[in-house]
Structures are given as C-alpha cells and as structure tokens.
Amino acid sequence: MKNYILAAAVAAGALCSAGPAWAQIPTGAELVAQMDKDNDKAVNKQEWEASGNPYPYPEEADTNKDGKVNAAELDAFLAQFGGGGGAPAQAPDAAGAPASGASAAPGGAPVQK
C-alpha cells in the first residue's frame, strides 16, 4: 500500500499544475530532468528532497543500490502502478464523456470494454 501511494504521489507531484487529470503521466526521464541538479542523469535523495516533492525518496526504486534513481528505474517503479510515461488507455472526449469503446465507471472514470 505504501508503494502504491508513493507512486501515485510521485506522478501527481510531478504533474502539479500540468493540466487536466487525463494529461500524460511523466516518464522517468522527465522526472529526472526536473530534479537532477548535478547532471548525472539520476536523482539522489538530496536532489529529490530539494525538488520540493513532499513525498519520500523512493529507495525501493533504486534496484542497483547505487544511491540514486535513474529514468529506467523510475519507469519500472511507476509501471508497477500503471504509470511511467503512458497516457491513459482512453482519455475522455472534449465533453468529458468516455472515448468510444469505453464506458464510465462509478465516479465517471473511463473503463475499457
């Protein structure tokens, strides 16, 4: 449960005011580009915390245990929870209705048929 909340928080924190809820979830590369201050193409705990992200550094995403997470590690981590750079399967149309081939679940979320 903690990992699910963390992954959702990472994606939501990166999106902040990026637009509608169906906007594309950022990729690991986009997250690294936003937070990597020493240009090593990875984010360490200090960079993560300095980014202003209110969520804890995802230590479990650091699969090679080098003390930092790179784009591939973040993509793999977020993919466990349906994130990591992909757009939703069916985005709502301009009126907010589900796209063709989908129906609305309780709460209005599109559901693939």
Residues near 12 by Cβ (< 8 Å), separated by ≥ 6? Answer: none
**Mean pLDDT score across all residues of the chain:** 72
3-32 confidence digits (pLDDT tens)? 545 554 555 455 444 445 545 678 899 999
- DSSP class of residue 61 equals G
Task: Tokens for 51, please give them.
Answer: 């980014």
Return the residue matching tokens 């990472």. 10
Domain boundaries, the chain: 2-112
